[in-house]
Chain A
Amino acid sequence: GAVVSQHPSRVICKSGTSVKIECRSLDFQATTMFWYRQFPKQSLMLMATSNEGSKATYEQGVEKDKFLINHASLTLSTLTVTSAHPEDSSFYICSARIQIDIDTQYFGPGTRLTVL
């Protein structure tokens, strides 16, 4: 159990376009989801915390107008990279957490974004 999926797994887009990444908890309801960014050979950097039905909380230095997060249901959170530029190319990973077990986060497989 506790499977988290991400879609798409890979996306290549032109500079200036917007890209939406979906994060779904497949067999549980996630009250909280997290979005991370990871550059090659580096660690995960938390971008934002997303609670169902409320606005996301962004980490310092993360532009909320650039990275739009929507957590409309208990099983789905989306990250939209608006007006993408080459420097936005990265590996984006989401995770989901169940309220009754706040210690454990379940991670999605990640989305590789390449902006040309």
Chain B
Amino acid sequence: SQQGEEDPQALSIQEGENATMNCSYKTSINNLQWYRQNSGRGLVHLILIRSNEREKHSGRLRVTLDTSKKSSSLLITASRAADTASYFCATPQGSNYKLTFGKGTLLTVNP
């Protein structure tokens, strides 16, 4: 079963607006990671937030983590057309630390 579930599944905004994507998970975690995937390409690691952290920033990205609600959010501020991509949350599981990905949010930023 999917560990991470993102919502919304699709989000369309205008350039300059902020985009917020949410992710929920089911089991306890050590950390949660966000990735970006441009159409037909591999994944790019964006940011990792550990279970003892509540918020983390990286450039225009802001990630929050609420372990009591088992949820995380990714905020992209001042969006650009180049931010158009699918965004996935992922959590490491098991002894091999394998990543389990959510279904993803397809973000479209219109110029």
Contacts and interface: CB of A to CB of B under 8 A. Distances in A.
Nearest to A91: B40
A44 B31 contact: no
Interface in A72-116: 91, 93, 95, 97, 102-110, 112
A22 B51 CA distance: 34
Interface in B64-111: 88, 92, 96-104, 106
B97 A93 contact: no
A18 interface: no
A112 B98 contact: no
A108 B42 contact: yes
Interface in B42-63: 42-45, 48
Given A105-B45, A109-B42, A43 B88 contact: yes
Interface of A: 4, 6, 32, 34, 41-46, 49, 51, 57, 91, 93, 95, 97, 102-110, 112
22 contacts: A34-B99, A42-B103, A43-B102, A44-B88, A46-B98, A57-B96, A93-B42, A97-B97, A102-B92, A102-B97, A103-B30, A103-B48, A103-B92, A105-B45, A107-B35, A107-B44, A107-B45, A108-B42, A109-B41, A109-B42, A110-B41, A112-B40
Ranked 5 nearest A-B pairs via Cβ? A107-B43, A107-B42, A109-B42, A44-B101, A43-B101
